[in-house]
């Protein structure tokens, strides 16, 4: 397997310092984006959405669990017995303690899918998931969010009986939230996926291979 060039400590520290300058620039750019995100207007989110849960039907306001905000990950429905590998990887990266910290910050979490509840519950057992995972099967929730048959992360704000959508992202916007991908991006071989810009000879494979 091809490996990075071996250099002296002084040479490594010089190269690392140059990269650190670029990393700090990227951090400041992300801070500026977060500031713009906090100034994004919101839009009323309407519709009669009833979700299937192990405890019975729940409305969208119910999913807030009394908190001011709600983050929702829309898990793709690929049909009976089929599960999106990307959505599965994302859900594997949502640990319970992190959701407790979100709750302490006033944000509830719900993973939502158009899959029937029975399919969701069976898959939760297979994966060992304990996070809130409800079914939007038979509702227009995914379409109303703009997710359609895909995946998406949305954030909602509740003001009394009114619900507003404050943010949404998909594709690489969701990808950057994964703990494992962030750590892999710090490693010498990255994610080892064939779309990455890596030196010749670096190990790579198809993203979902």
The residue extents of the domains of the chain are: 9-39, 43-175
Backbone region of residue 162 per phi and psi (left: phi > 0; alpha: psi in -120 to 50; beta: other values): beta
**Segment 118-149, tens digit of pLDDT:** 999 999 999 999 999 999 999 999 999 999 89
Task: Report d(CA 160, CA 155) in Å as an integer.
Answer: 16
What's the pLDDT at 21?
Answer: 98
Task: Report d(CA 149, CA 114) in Å as an integer.
Answer: 9
Q: Flag whether pLDDT at 185 surpasses 90.
A: yes
Task: Report d(CA 28, CA 167) in Å as an integer.
Answer: 21
What's the pLDDT at 108?
Answer: 98
| DSSP 8-class letter at 115 | S
Entry pTM: 0.91
Mean pLDDT of the chain: 95
Percent of the chain with pLDDT over 90: 95
Residue 119's closest CA among 152, 87, 77, 88? Answer: 77
The CATH number fitting domain 43-175, selected from 2.60.40.1180, 3.40.30.10, 3.30.1360.10, 3.90.1150.10:
3.40.30.10
**Segment 142-180, tens digit of pLDDT:** 999 999 899 999 999 999 999 999 999 999 999 989 999
Residue 79's closest CA among 141, 123, 110? Answer: 123
What's the pLDDT at 203?
Answer: 93
**Segment 12-55, tens digit of pLDDT:** 999 999 999 999 999 999 999 999 999 999 999 998 899 999 99
β-pairing, 152-159 vs 69-75, is antiparallel
What's the pLDDT at 209?
Answer: 61
Residue 82 CB neighbour total at 10 angstroms: 11
């Amino acid at each position: 397997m091809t490996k990075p060039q071996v250099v002296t400590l002084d040479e490594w520290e010089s190269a690392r310092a140059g990269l650190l300058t670029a990393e700090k620039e990227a951090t400041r750019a992300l801070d500026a984006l977060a500031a713009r995100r906090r100034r994004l207007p919101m839009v009323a989110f309407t519709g009669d959405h009833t979700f299937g849960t192990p405890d019975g039907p729940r409305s969208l306001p119910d999913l807030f669990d009394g908190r001011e905000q709600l983050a929702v990950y829309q898990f793709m429905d690929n049909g009976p017995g089929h599960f999106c590998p990307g959505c599965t990887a994302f859900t594997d990266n949502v640990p319970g303690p992190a959701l407790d910290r979100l709750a302490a910050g006033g944000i509830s979490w719900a993973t939502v899918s158009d899959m029937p509840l029975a399919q969701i519950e069976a898959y939760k057992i297979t994966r060992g998931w304990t996070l809130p995972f409800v079914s939007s099967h038979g509702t227009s929730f995914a379409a109303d969010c703009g997710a359609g048959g895909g995946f998406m992360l949305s954030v909602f704000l509740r003001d009394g009986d009114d619900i507003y959508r404050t943010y949404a992202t998909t594709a690489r916007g969701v990808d950057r939230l994964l703990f494992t991908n962030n750590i892999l991006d710090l490693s010498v071989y990255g994610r080892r996926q064939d779309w990455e810009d890596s030196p010749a000879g670096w190990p790579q494979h198809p993203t979902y291979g």
